[in-house]
Amino acid sequence: MAKKTKTSSSLDKLPVNTHIAGAGLVEDQHITDTLETNFMPYAMSVIMSRAIPEIDGFKPSHRKLLYTMYKKGLLNGPRTKSANIVGETMKLNPHGDSAIYETMVYLSRGYSALLHPYVDSKGNFGRQYSTDMEYAASRYTEAKLESFATELFRDIDKDTVDFVDNYDSTMKEPTLLPVTFPSVLVNNNLGIAVGMASNICSFNLREICETTIALMKDPDHDVSSTLLAPDFPGGGRIVYQRDSMEKIYETGRGSVKIRSVWSYDKSANCIDITEIPYTTTVESIISKLVDLVKSGKIREISDVRNEIGLDGLKITIDLKRGVDPDRLMTRLYSMTPLEDSFSCNFNVLIAGVPRVLGVRELLNEWTAFRTECVRRRVYYDLSKARDKLHLLKGLEKILLDIDKAIKIVRQTEEEREVVPNLMIGFGIDEIQAEYVAEIKLRHLNREYILKRTNEIDDLQKNIIDMEDILKSPSRVKSIIIDELRDVSKKYGKPRNSELIYASDIDEYTKIEEEVPDYPCTLFFAAEGYFKKITPQSLRMSNAHKLKEGDSITQTIETTNNRDLLFFTDKATVYKAKVSDFPDTKASVMGEYAAAKLGFDEGENSKYMVVTSDYSGYMIFLFENGKAAKIELSAYATKTNRRKLIGAYSDKSPLVAVVYLPEDRELLLTSSSGRMLLVHTGALSVKSTRSTIGVQAMTLKARHRLIKAEIYTDDMLAKPNRYRTKKLPAAGAMPAVEDIGEQLTLD
């Protein structure tokens, strides 16, 4: 047998009485301090540096990728392997190659997620509308920048935006891109931060440019007159409602309803769906259709196929013979993601602060940002022009005597004295003299110098013009407007998403399947068993089979197409149809309502109501002597809800439930033996189902209401003895003639 060896740790080697500092101590720390020192910096980092887009329309990951591609010369050059771009981008974005590549996929033309893609892709980049079509690895695909991306980087090298160090301070990157159009609203953008999110829909480029120009000319311009509605890459039909659209434009929040585009192929008897809402996928639509067919809720479909191919998206729905495609699609819109909503949340970082802005405010913020970019560009060009003019004026003085300049250079013994001697000889400053000294020997001729000095007049005019631009906000505004018009003309295209007006849509209203209507008698037992028996069957046998000790409590003659309401002892009502229950015979026990309708454990039926129009009243009587009168219509619902909680008050135990088509008298009996006739017309109707009601019968201490029933003329010999003009009332002890089964004492 192998000998076991005992392993020892460093703690085993310590002496028995060794004291470890801080061991076993518990340090109290306020949760507010923990949040402030640990959680809040993380949350702010996610909000500021990861999830929320800025006014240029980009999140940091987008901006870093696009700027890397720009610096690699991929704006005009050939495509390169995506893996190369991902590797270069890691110099700015250290979050891993997979995250960077996913960002590239999202921005690409192949993925089809953007209205105006920024990345010209080659290879399999997947599809936004399909979860099964995954993109290929970065080593297999190629990419470059789209020509449209030119508008992102125009004049970026002219100090139009600020640059900061990257994460290891080895290179610079822009804090924003000097976009020449409001890209923040032209392409979709989704971001989920800590405690907040952003979900910006895309708008048509032409409409955005036109709206921005109109707002710059007139701050009170009606945005909805030029910006019709969002425009999505996948098309679809937008259900246009001006009120809801104006709410989005004003607040930056709201939802846009999008419908799929379909056509009917009569020869093949099938529906072809070619455009779906941006918010869903082909797989989720097909899955929902299959579930509906399997559950029997949709019976008109024989097959569903995913036929995505080279021509793009296509879902084919084969129909059974005789199906109306228009009616079916109306139903499918209401039951599947073929109609879906895009929830707008225009949350954007403005000067480092997240703000939810409407379209007008967003465009105004972009205009302010772009104005600053243009001013910085003009100031940069002005500085360069002034420097050049200064040099040319020095060169102009050399023109007066070129031979003198050559002589000064030749006769100067030391190189360091050349510039000072030129300064003295021609009365120019050091910068001008340095420029003259660096002129090549071949350029020291009158023709070259004359050509250069002829530029002085043009430069002076340009400088005056640029100075005027910086002084004139209207001229800056004109430059921005001209650039917007140029972008709209070059890259604008017709809308993808067609508009349809909500008023023109036939909304689906569920048509109940035709239920055969015939007379029947319903029997409800105290133990909760239910029977539906036809008159013919009842004539053959009316001897009921019941559970031992059970009895029939309700017998109602009605028809097969009525509604049923079962009130339980848990203040709940369950709804069903008479037709939900099969016809049966008196000789069987019937169906157990609790099992049929899915009662909660330990829940029992108290009362059954049959109705078709929900007219009449429900009267609930409680042990504390209170009575609640509620219109039966309070239990009618527009949807097919099967369970309603809070059907009545549970503050006091329920004694009886009564349904009355119209007001009549009830006979109440207390545990003291007193009886009271109450006319329900004296009870006020309550609008809340869970109301505690009003006091109907006053009770002495330790007594309670024990019985309530609908009064009939043969029940009491002296009914006036128990009637009262006012409620509540104590009632009266029964007369000798009325003592009998009416009196029940505990």
Instruction: Give the model confidence (pLDDT) of 318-368 as tens digits.
Output: 998 888 999 899 999 989 999 999 999 999 999 888 999 999 999 999 999
Domain count, the chain: 4
The Cβ-side half-sphere exposure at 656, using a 13 Å CA radius, reads 21
The side-by-side arrangement of strands in the sheet containing 142-145 is: 80-81, 142-145, 119-122
Residue 574: enclosing H or E segment and its boundaries? strand 572-577
Least confident segment among 2-11, 73-82, 155-164, 176-185: 2-11
In a domain, 27, yes or no: no
For 511, residues 6+ apart whose C-beta sits below 8 A from its C-beta are none
- The CA distance from 649 to 618, in Å, is 13
Domain assignment present for residue 204? The answer is: no
Cβ atoms 331, 325 nearer than 8 A: no
The answer to whether the beta carbons of residues 627 and 619 sit under 8 Å apart is yes
Predicted confidence band of residue 311 (pLDDT cuts 50, 70, 90)? confident
Instruction: Indicate whether 541 and 667 sit together in one domain.
Output: yes
Which helix (H) or strand (E) element contains residue 359?
Answer: helix 359-399
Residues 383 and 427 occupy one common structural domain: yes
Final residue of a domain: which of 320, 337, 354? 337
Cα(first)–Cα(last) distance of the chain, in Å?
A: 83
CATH number at residue 316: 3.30.1360.40
Residue 99 phi, psi dihedral angles, 5° rounding: -65, -40
Contact 530, 591 (CB under 8 A): yes
Q: How many CB atoms lie within 10 A of CB 399?
A: 13
Nearest 5°: the CA angle 598, 600, 606 is: 90
Which of 463-491 are b and which e, b meaning 16 or more Cβ less than 10 Å from the residue's Cβ? beebeebeeeeeebbebbbebbeebbeeb
Same-domain pairing of 709 and 583: yes
Region 3-14 average pLDDT: 46
Active site residue 140: yes
Domain stops at, among 179, 201, 219: 179
Q: Say yes or no: 612 and 685 in one domain.
A: yes
- pLDDT band (50, 70, 90) for residue 79: very high
Asked if the model's pLDDT at residue 16 lies above 90, the reply is no
Distance between CA atoms of 400 and 428, rounded to whole angstroms? Answer: 13
> pLDDT tens across 390-409, in order?
988 888 888 778 888 888 88
Those residues whose C-beta lies under 8 Å from the C-beta of residue 321, and which sit 6 or more positions away, are 269
Going by pLDDT thresholds of 50, 70 and 90, the confidence category of residue 18 is low
Query: What's the mean pLDDT in 445-465?
Result: 86
Lowest model confidence (mean pLDDT) among 47-61, 159-173, 226-240, 433-447: 433-447
> What CA–CA distance (Å, rounded) separates 345 from 362?
12
- DSSP-derived letter for residue 3 is P
Q: What is the pLDDT of residue 23?
A: 59
| pLDDT for res 110 | 93
Residue 343 inside a domain? The answer is no
- Rounded Cα–Cα distance for residues 76 and 406 (Å): 45
Burial status of residue 580 (CB atoms within 10 A of its CB: 0-12, 13-18, 19 or more) = middle
The neighbour count for residue 413, using CB atoms within 10 Å, is: 6
Statement to judge: residues 480 and 530 lie in one domain: no
The stretch 200-218 carries a mean pLDDT of 96
Percent of the chain surpassing pLDDT 70: 93
Indicate whether 3 pLDDT > 90: no
**245 is a domain residue:** no
- Domain assignment of residue 427, yes or no: yes
Nearest to 124 by CA among 135, 113, 139: 135
- The span from the CA of 112 to the CA of 125, in Å, is 9
Strands 163-165 and 172-174: antiparallel
Question: Does 558 map to a domain?
Answer: yes
Q: Is 224 helix (H, G, I), strand (E, B) or coil?
A: helix
Question: Do 485 and 369 belong together in one domain?
Answer: yes
- Residue 5 in this model has a pLDDT that exceeds 50: no
| Residues whose CB is less than 8 angstroms from the CB of residue 380 and which lie 6 or more positions away in sequence, other chains included | 158, 159, 160
Query: Rounded mean pLDDT of 85-108?
Result: 93
pLDDT band at 185 (very low <50, low <70, confident <90, very high): very high
If one counts every other C-beta atom within 10 angstroms of the C-beta of residue 430, the result is: 12
Average pLDDT, the chain: 88
Domain boundary among 337, 356, 372: 337
**Mean pLDDT calculated for residue range 44-56:** 79
Question: In which residue are the tokens 């006014």 written?
Answer: 55
CB of 550 within 8 A of CB of 529?
yes
Buried b / exposed e along 597-621 (16+ C-beta atoms within 10 A): bebeeebebbbbbbbeeeeebbbbb
The gap from C-alpha 292 to its chain's centroid, in whole angstroms, comes to 25
Q: Are residues 582 and 709 in the same domain?
A: yes
Buried b (16+ CB within 10 A) or exposed e, 516-553: eeeebbbbbbbbbbbbbbbeebbeeeeebebeeeeeee
Quick: pLDDT tens for 160-172: 999 999 999 999 9
pLDDT mean over 711-728: 86
Q: How many CB atoms lie within 10 A of CB 632?
A: 18
Res. 4: pLDDT tops 60: no
Confidence class for position 574, pLDDT limits 50, 70, 90: very high
Residue 548 has pLDDT above 60, yes or no: yes
Cα 201 to chain center, whole Å?
11
Q: Which residue has the tokens 């060169």?
A: 395
297 pLDDT tier (thresholds 50, 70, 90): confident
Q: How far apart are CA 203 and CA 452, in angstroms?
A: 49
**Of 492, 490, 58, 498, which Cα lies nearest the Cα of 234?**
498
Report the DSSP beta bridge partners of residue 250.
none
Range of the domain at 708: 519-738
Quote the pTM value.
0.67
Q: Is 409 exposed, middle or buried (0-12, 13-18, 19+ CB in 10 A)?
A: middle
Tell me whether residue 637 is in a domain: yes
Strand blocks (E) in 460-509:
498-501
Residues 573 and 673 reside in one and the same domain? yes
The full DSSP string for 590-635 is: -EEHHHHHTPPTT--EEEEEEESS--SEEEEEETTSEEEEEEGGGG
| Burial degree of 554 (CB within 10 A; 0-12, 13-18, 19+) | middle
Taken in order 155, 157, 163, 167, the sign of the CA dihedral is positive
Please tell me whether the peptide bond between 728 and the residue prior to it is cis, using omega within 30 degrees of 0. yes
Return the structure tokens found at 727: 């409620």
pLDDT tens-digit map of 473-517: 999 999 999 999 999 999 999 999 999 987 777 665 544 445 678
- CATH of residue 635's domain is 2.120.10.90
Say whether both 89 and 175 belong to one domain.
Answer: yes
Q: Is residue 129 classed as helix, strand or coil in its secondary structure?
A: coil
State the CATH number of the domain containing residue 445: 1.10.268.10
**Do 599 and 679 fall into the same domain?**
yes
- Section 702-711 average pLDDT: 91
* Comparison of pLDDT for 740 and 282, the residue scoring more: 282
Q: Are residues 585 and 732 in the same domain?
A: yes
463 in any annotated domain: yes
User: What is the mean predicted confidence (pLDDT) over 141-158?
Assistant: 95
pLDDT in tens, 585-605: 888 888 999 888 888 888 999
Active-site position among 67, 70, 140, 278? 140
Q: Is the domain of 398 the same as that of 303?
A: no
CATH number at residue 49: 3.90.199.10
Q: Are 595 and 578 in contact (CB under 8 A)?
A: no
Consecutive H or E run containing 457: helix 455-471
